Structure 1
Amino acid sequence: MPIVVSPPDPSWPEHFARMALQLSSYLASAGVPFITIEHIGSTSIPQLSAKPNIDIVVLVRDRATALLARDALIWQPGPTEYYKCIGDGGIRGRFSMKHQDWSAIPQRSVYIISEDDEQGMLSLRGYRDMRECLKREENADLRRQYDRIKWEMVEQGISDGVEYGQQKNGVVRKILMRMGWTHEDVNQKEALDVRKPGQLVGDDPY
């Protein structure tokens, strides 16, 4: 099925707020402490088109807490609201959690990252810097480039999620370098992604 991209939707932050409240209640019920629940990816950036999927990071202190958070999202929700863990989903440094209510609109992906995981924190640095960069009006040129490449892939009929993510790498590199990243920094981030086109793996929120 071809990748679906939606025009900017002002309701995306509202959906995130509702989902974050739900996630925090699951974690609290299981007694799992967390540092923050963040909206990342294109749906967190006004004026940017995106796949209709809310990307969320749950940041915790350490790996032991990450394991508890993973289990909480599997066992605390009801039978139609639970999450399934797909390991790291092909991107090192996280637990990738897929919401199992496939009728929900928009869909959501949750990534559990711990502060003691250097790989996960590199990814989180990238998510944060990209969000900050593309929200700034002085970077509207990059926002337009990033938006345009998505619609070009829609026109091409791209159906593979891995290919969709990796074809954006060139623009993502420009964005991160504007935020002070070096080429080596970006290379290290890209090396975390071990997914191959055609594999059924997790999403990349970039």
Structure 2
Amino acid sequence: MSDEIALSPYDPAWARSFAAEYSNLLACFEKPPLAIEHIGSTSVPGLPSKPIIDILIHVEDRTRAVASIPALEALGYANVPNYIDPNRLVLIKRRSDGERSHHVHVHSDADEVRRHLMFRDRLRSDKAVRDDYAALKAELAQRFQEDRAAYSKHKTAFIDAIVLGMGGPARKTPWNP
């Protein structure tokens, strides 16, 4: 099992993996979520990515999110305590070999949900931005091959520049409340 950063060429199977997981996730919530969306690089045709399916689930409030944790764990997801963002839960599913297969981000912050979707949609619709992001990811994967947190952190400025340029919300972090 490794948390090494290794990018793979785009694979259409990623969209099928999200579609297969969708109904299982939906069933984990007493009241249907506001949205369940495939996000991240695996949701963008043509974009290299770590082969991990990122899924965003938008719920009305954190209480509903927390109530869903046992059902999500029954699907094989492990809850990862996330102390940075009180409006988000993060759960990770691993394959039988221990490698990550899915990340579920359960959000109650509509601005953060909008930010993710705006960025995904821009990458899907703008080849130049997608190519620039692919180049950045490749450089960061090389530079931070063994440091997943640094790899993710160093993509934030690019993401913010795209989202803010579209009139979207800035990412809320401990440094940008």
Q: TM-score range by the shorter chain?
A: 0.7 to 0.9
Q: Is the partner of 1:159 in helix, strand or coil?
A: coil
Alignment partner, residue 126 of structure 1: 115
Task: Report how many residues are paired.
Answer: 174
Alignment partner, residue 105 of structure 2: 111
1:35/1:59 contact within 8 Å kept = yes
Deviation at 1:155, TM superposition (A): 3.0
Q: Is the partner of 2:32 in helix, strand or coil?
A: coil
Compared CA separation, residues 140 and 100, structure 1 to 2 (3 A)? closer
2:59/2:106 contact within 8 Å kept = yes
Give distance in 2, aligned partners of 1:152 and 1:103.
27
Identity %: 28
Structure 2-normalised TM-score?
Answer: 0.85
Amino acid aligned to 1:82: G
Structure 1-normalised TM-score?
Answer: 0.74
1:155 to 2:142 alignment: yes
Stretches of structure 1 that go unaligned for 5 or more consecutive residues are 115-119, 195-206
Write the mapping of 1:87-98 to structure 2, written as runs, cut at 5 A.
87-88=81-82, 90-98=84-92
Write the mapping of 1:1-206 to structure 2, written as runs, cut at 5 A.
2-27=4-29, 31-74=30-73, 77=74, 81-88=75-82, 90-103=84-97, 107-114=101-108, 120-136=109-125, 139-156=126-143, 158-181=145-168, 185-186=169-170, 189-191=171-173
Give distance in 2, aligned partners of 1:89 and 1:101.
25
Give distance in 2, aligned partners of 1:192 and 1:66.
21
Give distance in 1, aligned partners of 2:130 and 2:83.
27
Deviation at 1:152, TM superposition (A): 1.3
Alignment partner, residue 199 of structure 1: none
